[in-house]
Chains A and B, each alone.
Chain A
Amino acid sequence: MTVVAGATVRIRDLTKQFGGASGVLALDGLDLDVPAGSVFGLLGPNGAGKTTTIRLLVGLARPTRGTVEIDEGRIDPARPDRRHGIGVLDQEPRYYGWMRGRELVEMVARLHGRSPREARLRAGEVLERVGLGDAAERRISGYSGGMRQRLGIAQALVDRPRLLVLDEPVSSLDPEGRRDVLTLIGELHGEATVIFSTHVLSDIERICDRVGILDRGRLVTEAPLPELLARYALPLYRLEPEPGQDAALARLATALGGVPWADRVEVDGIAMTVGVTDETSASRDLLRAVVAADLRLASFERVRPGLEDVFLRLVGRGGTGSGA
């Protein structure tokens, strides 16, 4: 029997309104279940409600309505004991500049109830793990943005959390740091439940096994990533014409606008992207339409749709497709 570590998160009717009844509805009746041990990507455009969800999840704010339960314990700002085993990393981690990196991580371990000796050992381990072993004795005021982000991940991991809540955890890292941290988060799969908010779709595709898409405070959809792609990612074709054929390209776009199998047609200057709903018809008729429009093509490819297309489709902002 496989034992899955990590916490189960259950969110029901979670609503947050700022500024009273006529204020901003940041979160509107969110229902969400995050299974134990999963790496859950919370995706949404800026202002979708991701950070509000996270603040409610860790008890920094009170919901206007609804509940958050972690392993059946209801989260409440007045019950800090319920935060044991929860590691949190804020979107813009800011710490005490006068502290040394090791001291901060040790303090967090002590706040989670570790003995001074345990705290020291664990701080050393996690700082090594995030690549800050050599900088552990330096003052945080001398850390770069990337180092602060790594320090944030170290302090979030120091209590071996069963739930790790990360708000944009790689936003200020360089490509190498981004890769390392995403690998680190990916390694936690099965060890801890990870809720990972971002608007960078490639990060979600890389490490998350489940995805929830938020838009304007509402959950648009939530499913395992492959299921989401299968359900919403419709095939795309990308056509790149030879230069100087604007009239022919316009003719093709007009023609495709009237066929039932084309979901959307976008021209971005040098190429055309065609989203299709019926792949059989499209594979048969699309090239015929190109010939009929007298358009000479430099390239023609079927594009593998990705999360970006799903995301843009679901939040109603169009899409361009990702590379094959």
Chain B
Amino acid sequence: MTGFGILLRKELLESWRTYRLLVVLGLFLFTGLSSPVLARFTPEIIQLAAGEQFAGIEIPPPVAADAVDQMLGNLTQFGALAAILLAMGLVASEKDRGTAAFLLAKPVTRSSFLAAKLVAIGSVLAVCTAMAVVVGWVYTALLFETLPVTGWAWLAVLTWMSLFAYAAITFLGSTLTGSAAAAAGLGFVALIVLSIAAAIPGVGQFLPPGLLGPADALASGTTTAGELGADLLIPVVSTIVLVAACIGLAARSFGRQEL
């Protein structure tokens, strides 16, 4: 992994200087902040918007679990889009611009080149997810009740894993096709297909969306990781296998490519 540390520093500095980190952080913070607020005021908003149409229909008062649902839904949707957009050009753009050839003519291994990018995107997603979850937890506590910190830590980790899976799939596309647009296409198709497939009984728990059920339950405080057992372990292991497969295929392909 020659040159990994230097390349990682370059990737992180690039995320900062090109405002990628700030834009994604802003999006995630907005999600973390707005989700509990939306959950809290949705009944009022609906009644105000619908007026007499909902007369007689009683909307149940919102609870903290609604904030968790809202937050998880928003984070996985906007977060997955952000992960795809961040990963689509990681390899393709560098190849296209000629900067990959510039770096790889130095004493740098190709695995370091790829690993630095993956660790950087993973770090960006981790920081943004963590910040969103912290803000979400605070607002949920302010608007509803205080939920268990451990459960929200699980929420952050599982959400991050789910987002990183979409980033890894897009990264594979970026490496295989050399086209940022094609990589993004693969990422979006994966997002749609996996979301649909997750609804199939017995299949969902083996896919990244299968992480969200346990995340929801843990953050709402209805269960613990120990109680979930295999329901938590299976989607975690499946997602790790999927990510590892994407990275392995990308590394194998990139190792054979000419720049």
Contacts and interface: CB of A to CB of B under 8 A. Distances in A.
Contacts of B7: 111
Given A62-B258, A98-B14, A111-B6, A90 B106 contact: no
Q: Which of A78, A86, A94, A111 has the most CB of B within 10 A?
A: A111
A83 B97 contact: no
A96 B14 contact: yes
Interface stretch (A53-61, A241-249, A270-278): A53-61
B222 interface: no
B105 A83 contact: yes
Interface string A108-131: 101111000000000000000000
Query: Chain B at the A interface: mostly helix, strand, loop or mixed?
Result: helix
B99 A94 contact: yes
A84 interface: yes
B258 A60 contact: yes
B18 interface: yes
Nearest to B113: A80
Interface string B96-113: 011101111111111000
A95 B98 CA distance: 8
A267 interface: no
Contacts of A99: 13, 17
A95 B102 CA distance: 8
B10 interface: yes
A80 B109 CA distance: 6
Contact of A90 (B3, B6, B98, B108): B98
B196 interface: no
B259 interface: yes
Contact of A111 (B3, B13, B18, B255): B3
B77 interface: no
Contact of A60 (B10, B101, B107): B101
B2 interface: yes
Interface string B101-134: 1111111111000000000000000000000000
Contacts of B3: 80, 111
Interface string A43-63: 000000000000100111110
A81 interface: yes
Contact of A80 (B10, B17, B99, B106): B106
A95 B99 contact: yes
Given A94-B98, A98-B18, A61 B107 contact: no
A61 B102 contact: no
A84 B107 contact: yes
Contacts of B6: 107, 110-111
Contacts of A88: 105-106
B105 A61 contact: no
28 contacts: A55-B258, A55-B259, A58-B105, A60-B258, A61-B259, A62-B258, A78-B255, A80-B2, A80-B3, A80-B104, A80-B107, A80-B108, A83-B107, A88-B105, A90-B101, A90-B105, A92-B98, A93-B98, A93-B102, A94-B99, A94-B102, A95-B99, A98-B17, A99-B13, A111-B7, A111-B103, A111-B107, A111-B108
Interface of A: 55, 58-62, 77-78, 80-81, 83-84, 86, 88, 90, 92-96, 98-99, 107-108, 110-113
Ranked nearest first, the 4 interchain pairs of A and B with the lowest CB-CB distance are A98-B17, A61-B258, A111-B106, A88-B105
